[in-house]
Structure 1
Amino acid sequence: VVASKIIVSSYHSTWFRLFGVTTLFSSILNNTAVVATLLSPIRNNPHHFASKLLLPLSYASILGGTLTLIGTSTNLIVNSMYIE
Structure 2
Amino acid sequence: MKKLILSALLCINSLAFAHCSNPVVCEMKYVDQAFTKTALTGEALDKARAMREEGEKLYKDGNEDDAIKVLKKAKKYLLEGKLDS
TM-score higher than 0.5 here?
Answer: no
User: TM-score under structure 2 normalisation?
Assistant: 0.29
Q: Which has the larger radius of gyration?
A: 2
Structure 1 length normalisation: TM-score? 0.29
